[in-house]
Structure 1
Amino acid sequence: MKYLKKKWFKSGLLAFVFLFNLLFLSDTSYAYSDNEQSLWEVKYLIQNNSIYNLSEEGINSQDISEVIKNLKDPYSEYYTKEEFNEFVRAINQNFYGIGIYNELVTEGIKINSFLKGSSAEEAGLKVGDIITSVDGKGIKGLTASEAVKYIKGGKGTFVNLSVKRGEQVLNFSVERREINIPTIEGELLDNKVAYIIISSFGEDTPSLLKEKLIDMNKKGAEKYIIDLRNNTGGYTNSAYDILGYFIEDNIATVMKDKDKNEYKYKAFKHDYVINKDIILLVNEYTASASEILSAALRDYNKALIVGIKTYGKGVQQTIFSLSNGDVLKLTTHSFYSPLGKEINNVGIMPNVNTNKIDPLKVAKLLFSGNKSIDNKKLLKLLQNNKEYYIDLEKGRSKEYWDALKYIVNTSTEGSLFLGKGINWTKLTEEDIKENFNVYFNDYTKMPKLVKSKEKAVFKIKLNKNVDINTVGANSIKLIQEETFEEVKINYDVENKDEIILYPVEAAKLQGDYFLIIEGLKGEEGGKLKNKVALPVHFE
């Protein structure tokens, strides 16, 4: 959720107080109950501030929840004072609970892991336990947020949980403690890449980010991956503050009120700006304040956006305090990118749409290589007039194989280049289609071999005697092209210069594979000249 700068909050309150005084200074005297007063205040604020029109049914309704329901705005809500405090704590990731990470399952909520110092873990709960009831109330069929709401509560209070562990049903009494999850986390990855997660735009998020940026710079960060996946928003001022490190004090967003009046908000000015390569990660749960940041980085071409199209929540909420202490959160503005591009119900399309591929893997690969004298082990991607270097050795590893394939297969003609010594070769559409030569650019490539499963035996003839101790899974691999899974192989060495390979489960072989030979040594100790890749198709 997002809030306008404080001047909007104050102007809304002043308008309300002014009208309230007028009512009591008029010739007619009115006596309102607390409920009637709150109802009147809610209707007044909606009619004078909401970007949506209240229906006749809503105007005539005598129930606050019905008034808000008739507004047909999923983001406008009425909070009691206690509920609002809980809402603010959620934005700041500060609340009282039992310290578990969980997921919704059929029977309740399953514990996936614990926070450090978790009272749940101390009480004896374990990863894999399924919480089925809370204080005697079954939670089967509830949403994850509804179930967790029962678990949260006041500081120092206890919650009684029924837990299914295998075939056992166990009961626990667990203390609720203060939980404060930092909204900024980060670490320095390989190749001097700073990886920073912004999980919410809380009040202290900008100061936490500043500390993290200083720390990363001291450690020598040369590239940045900023992760906004699953960040559903927070305070807009925090987004403006954070944007100052990337776009200086330029326009951060454009707001429009109910009368289509336009307001431009600038990013905060800071002592320094990050002028290094940035990849921004987003997904379908990147929303609100996260989209303000994403849209600005896109418009100013400050980052390569990688992931899935964002949620598309381009409307702003303002908080109004009521006379009874309760709070109305009301949609008062729509917002747009600095260049005026629509966000609401549209979202932000990434430069690299990863679909089901992990965008973090893609980002790590794009930052894995460094231009050198011999670029033969590198693949270069040109995106948004910037160059990204991929380390092919890393891309060929089992962990990153799917990401490498995705980058190659979805690249347009003219955007991919293969390293050839100090030079680069632009890949054609045909090169990309026949991608074996791309993946193994730094290997000696052999013509494709077609074999039947019944005759799945390989004979490798060498020009020198081989050290049999170097023959094995580390030097000879048969790899399935689609999954990059290794096929188990038995090895025989005949006459010291011929290696025979026997796939253990030859009957299961089907489709395309790679036979990789690398790292064999000669009988006299020197490395044999071999780094060979052979495509194999099994029928």
Structure 2
Amino acid sequence: MFKNNNVKFLFAILLTAIISAGITFAVVQKDSGLSQAQGKSDDPFEKLYSTYDTLKGEFYQDTNQEKLVDGAIKGMLQSLDDPYSTYMDQEEAKGFNENISSSFEGIGAEVQESDGKIMIVSPIKGSPAEKAGLKPKDKILKVDDKSVEGMTVNEAVMLIRGEKGSKVQLVIERDGVGELDFNLTRDTIPLETVYTEVENGIGKVQITKFSETTGKELADALNKLNDQEVKGLVLDLRQNPGGLLDQAIAMSDIFVPKGKTIMQIENKDGSKEVQKSQNDSAVNVPVVVVVDNGTASAAEIMAGALNQSAGIPIVGEKTFGKGTIQTAKSFEDGSSIKYTIAKWLTPDGSWIHKKGIEPQHKASLPAYANLPYLNPDKELKQGDSSAEVKVAQQMLKALGYKNVKTDGFYEETTKNAVTQFQAKYSLKSTGTISGETTIKMLETLQAQLKENDTQMEEAIKVLNEQMQ
């Protein structure tokens, strides 16, 4: 399967996590009390220094020097109008570094600022966010009844994160659906980022993010698959929010022939750096890549490289579309700034920012994959009429209870279907949907989706055509 196992891994860390920042300043001018500037200075920072001195000396309450300085830094980054450039205080910087390099406790979803709102890029595999049914492009409106409007992503993340076992309630807005309530129990988000399985001689490799260990995990996984003599590989990059640039380059190097372009970096002055594969391709079996609208950043770099420079076909849905590179600068007090330093381009020079990558073979999941989450704490019963009832009816329909209406009114046929479902799974026969019944419906639907993964089926079909 492999031509050689001497895969070179690069470790020059360029961060590509998805965070943003923002701050608002309000100025009230009284009719008197503002002094006039005495001439114009050539020092562009005089106004900044003067403002600081004025507030320290004349503001009607005591001021905090650290907060004033932090606010000025936040304001500078916010003025860039770039959702990926931000200031992080000590606590936020610690959380950011944990997300890149180790496990952490929370709900397991990458978020960013989009048009002034906090948006989910992708839930992480096996996380509370994924199990609850949060989707890419969901916009977070409230956390535990507290509005996140006007917050930076860092501030919102600090509200969402918490100790394992603690609960958090989110109100999100989903396009075409409206507002939805999610009650999640926080958990430890694991370090492992590469998962494999073999089916009918085909190796399936799911990569969930690009952290410091992902390149080594992939190399180890491919070596194990080599021992099992698989005939082809499916690389699953769905719901992968990205991560470290160096890992994306090193992992692409395994598949892209030596000397071929992996990506291009376009600097501020327009100059371009071309990143080429440094090794002979280590894989010599057919490969297919699967993507969706949660495939972002470093995952898009890898998908683009494998497609354009190794001729590997892409299956699925258009990707997220993040085409910029970030780095970080840390300060002695533990705070840091993260800012965009360049664009990245695909091997053919395309900038996919806000556009995404279009797969050659389009495939969508069944419609029920996009059904909203149902809150197990909320009871749905005969006589109720609501959007939640309609969702429950659509779930029952997808699970094979064909006589159920999907009009949002909980009538006799819905109650009968629920009773049948409860009997099938040895649940208390109440005819109502709540608690264990809701959880079992969600779990059963998720298991059915795994068995009816139409995107993976299409990928295997394309792979089989290559293997013939």
TM-score range, shorter chain: 0.5 to 0.7
Distance change in 2, residues 1:73/1:177 (3 Å): closer
1:261 maps to a residue whose letter is S
Are 1:289 and 2:298 matched, yes or no? yes
Structure 1 equivalent of residue 455 of structure 2: 359
Q: SS of the residue aligned with 2:166?
A: strand
User: Given the alignment, which residue of 262, 283, 299 partners 2:308?
Assistant: 299
% identity of equivalent residues: 27
Q: Residues 151 and 159 of structure 1 are in contact (CA less than 8 Å); yes or no, is this contact kept in structure 2? A: no
1:344 maps to a residue whose letter is H
- Displacement of 1:84 in angstroms is 2.1
- Displacement of 1:211 in angstroms is 1.0
Aligned 1:90-105 pairs, distance under 5 A = 90-92=99-101, 94-97=103-106
Task: Give the TM-score of the pair, scaled to structure 1.
Answer: 0.46
Q: Residues 317 and 358 of structure 2 are in contact (CA less than 8 Å); yes or no, is this contact kept in structure 1? A: yes
* Residues 105-128 of structure 1: CA deviation (Å, up to 9, x unaligned): xxxxxxx99969x9xxxxxxx999
Distance change in 2, residues 1:38/1:335 (3 Å): farther
Distance change in 2, residues 1:268/1:178 (3 Å): farther
Q: Residues 228 and 290 of structure 1 are in contact (CA less than 8 Å); yes or no, is this contact kept in structure 2? A: yes
- Displacement of 1:235 in angstroms is 0.3
- Displacement of 1:262 in angstroms is 1.4
Structure 2 equivalent of residue 261 of structure 1: 271
* Residues 304-344 of structure 1: CA deviation (Å, up to 9, x unaligned): 10011112211101111134321111011001112222222
* Residues 159-200 of structure 1: CA deviation (Å, up to 9, x unaligned): 36799xxxxxxxx9x8x775424110010112x110000110
Distance change in 2, residues 1:336/1:219 (3 Å): same
Which structure's relative contact order is higher, taking Cα pairs within 8 Å and 6+ residues apart?
Answer: 2
Are 1:342 and 2:351 matched, yes or no? yes
- Displacement of 1:71 in angstroms is 1.0
- Displacement of 1:204 in angstroms is 0.2
User: Given the alignment, which residue of 182, 186, 191 partners 2:192?
Assistant: 182
* Aligned counterparts of 1:297 and 1:331: Cα–Cα separation in 2: 25
* Aligned counterparts of 1:262 and 1:185: Cα–Cα separation in 2: 35
* Aligned counterparts of 1:73 and 1:221: Cα–Cα separation in 2: 44
Distance change in 2, residues 1:323/1:37 (3 Å): farther
Aligned 1:50-449 pairs, distance under 5 A = 63-92=72-101, 94-97=103-106, 137-138=144-145, 150=159, 152-153=161-162, 159=166, 178-190=188-200, 192-250=201-259, 251-267=261-277, 269=279, 273-355=282-364, 358-367=454-463, 387=466
Q: For structure 1, which runs of at least 5 residues remain unmatched after alignment?
A: 10-28, 40-61, 101-111, 119-125, 129-135, 164-171, 369-380, 382-386, 390-539
Task: Give the TM-score of the pair, scaled to structure 2.
Answer: 0.52
- Displacement of 1:78 in angstroms is 1.3
Aligned length: 289
- Displacement of 1:236 in angstroms is 0.6
Q: Residues 228 and 281 of structure 1 are in contact (CA less than 8 Å); yes or no, is this contact kept in structure 2? A: yes
Q: Residues 247 and 297 of structure 1 are in contact (CA less than 8 Å); yes or no, is this contact kept in structure 2? A: yes
* Aligned counterparts of 1:73 and 1:328: Cα–Cα separation in 2: 13
Distance change in 2, residues 1:361/1:139 (3 Å): farther
Q: For structure 2, which runs of at least 5 residues remain unmatched after alignment?
A: 1-9, 16-48, 54-63, 110-122, 134-142, 171-182, 367-453
* Residues 221-260 of structure 1: CA deviation (Å, up to 9, x unaligned): 1100001111111001101111121014433211111111
Q: SS of the residue aligned with 1:71?
A: coil
- Displacement of 1:301 in angstroms is 3.6
* Aligned counterparts of 1:366 and 1:193: Cα–Cα separation in 2: 12
1:315 maps to a residue whose letter is T
Aligned 1:9-88 pairs, distance under 5 A = 35=66, 63-88=72-97
Structure 1 equivalent of residue 36 of structure 2: none
* Residues 246-289 of structure 1: CA deviation (Å, up to 9, x unaligned): 0144332111111112112234537x611211110011121111
* Aligned counterparts of 2:124 and 2:251: Cα–Cα separation in 1: 30
Q: SS of the residue aligned with 1:300?
A: helix
Q: Residues 14 and 326 of structure 2 are in contact (CA less than 8 Å); yes or no, is this contact kept in structure 1? A: no
* Aligned counterparts of 2:249 and 2:355: Cα–Cα separation in 1: 21
* Aligned counterparts of 1:114 and 1:178: Cα–Cα separation in 2: 12
* Aligned counterparts of 2:343 and 2:147: Cα–Cα separation in 1: 37
2:299 maps to a residue whose letter is S
Structure 1 equivalent of residue 33 of structure 2: none
Larger radius of gyration: 1
* Aligned counterparts of 1:81 and 1:148: Cα–Cα separation in 2: 14
- Displacement of 1:217 in angstroms is 0.9
Q: CA RMSD in A?
A: 4.4
Distance change in 2, residues 1:5/1:330 (3 Å): farther
Q: Residues 289 and 312 of structure 2 are in contact (CA less than 8 Å); yes or no, is this contact kept in structure 1? A: yes
- Displacement of 1:74 in angstroms is 1.1
Q: Residues 233 and 288 of structure 2 are in contact (CA less than 8 Å); yes or no, is this contact kept in structure 1? A: yes
